[in-house]
Amino acid sequence: MPRVATKVSAKRKAQPGSLPFTKRNYQILGIGLITIILGYIALAQEPWDGTLPLVVAPILLVLGYCIIIPLGILYRSKAEQPSTEVSATPESKT
């Protein structure tokens, strides 16, 4: 019985352990980096007991480090999510 040659797909599939970043991921990470830089700039402002270094800077830093950067790493659009459907009837090999 001759073997049937199968076509090799040119499209690379994402490996389960890899993080496929898209343009949107890099945009979110860039926003997070800008937020962190603005937080450190606000932290360095005079006077040291003012509202900007004591209130605004910590808010910007926590927002950047704890919310925006992890969101940029974990973000995946709904169109890219793989389907996890299991067929109800298994195919039999004869």
Cα separation, 84 vs 38, whole angstroms: 41
pLDDT at 6: 63
pTM given for the model: 0.65
pLDDT tens figures, 36-88: 999 999 999 998 889 999 999 999 999 999 999 999 999 988 876 665 655 55
4-41 per-position pLDDT tens digit: 666 555 555 656 766 688 999 999 999 999 999 999 99
pLDDT for the residue 57: 95
In terms of residues, how long is the chain? 94
